[in-house]
Amino acid sequence: MYTASRALYRYKARIPARSYLSLFTPLPSSTILLRAMSDSSRTKSDSEWQAILSPEQFRVLRQKGTERPGTGKYEKTKADGVYTCAACETPLYKSTTKFDSGCGWPAFFDAIPGAVSRHEDSSFGMTRIEITCTACGGHLGHVFKGEGFKNPIDERHCVNSVSLNFVDENGQVDKSS
Ligand SMILES: [Zn+2]
């Protein structure tokens, strides 16, 4: 008996008490719940989105609508900063990639890497590339290629202003609606 308990003592001594415990103790349910909440914080039901978005934001971001050209707040802005998703606040575009396309909506030639996802969109008898916020799935607009704009990659991310907010260099948040 003496030998066995001494061996156990040596075994325990090699492993700090906390990690020894964590080998055998399941995660507390509160930890699991917190993880589930953070995973779902960017994907909500329609009624949850309606509670935090304006009707126009809901129509564009969640129902893939389009704001009327020339009506959006950020069509012609040139200030330095970052445009974030109006639904989930993920940074999507830097002002350094914004250009004046004259099309009636804010235009960017590139997104922050990974922030924007592309999907084929065959609605309205056209084949277009829809862009969405990778984090929350919110509809942003479409990407058009090869239009001859003098920007580094000749792409135009045509984004609804209402899908965006703007954060200036000092961290001041400006909301599109
Ligand atoms: Zn988002």
Tens digit of pLDDT for each residue in 94-106?
999 999 999 999 9
Work out whether the CA dihedral 140, 68, 162, 136 comes out positive or negative: negative
Tell me what the pLDDT averaged over the chain comes to: 84
Cα 68 from Cα 53, distance rounded (Å): 18
CB neighbours of residue 99 within 10 Å: 15
Residue 158 known to be catalytic: yes
Residue ranges in 41-156 assigned as alpha helix (H): 46-52, 55-57
Position 2 pLDDT exceeds 80: no
Length of the chain, in residues: 177
The pLDDT of residue 23 is: 43
Ligand 1 midpoint to CA 115 (Å): 9
User: What CATH homologous superfamily does 46-175 map to?
Assistant: Peptide methionine sulfoxide reductase. (2.170.150.20)
* Domain boundaries of the chain, sorted by first residue: 2-40, 46-175
- The CA distances from residue 8 to 2, 21, 23, 24, 39, in Å, are 10, 15, 16, 16, 40
pLDDT in tens, 55-80: 999 999 999 999 999 999 999 999 99
Q: Measured in angstroms, how far is the CA atom of residue 136 from the centroid of ligand 1?
A: 4
Tens of pLDDT, residues 142-177 = 999 999 998 889 999 999 999 999 999 999 999 987
Residue type, 122: S
Question: In whole angstroms, what is the distance from residue 19 CA to residue 66 CA?
Answer: 53
Ligand 1 centroid to Cα of residue 43, in Å, is 9
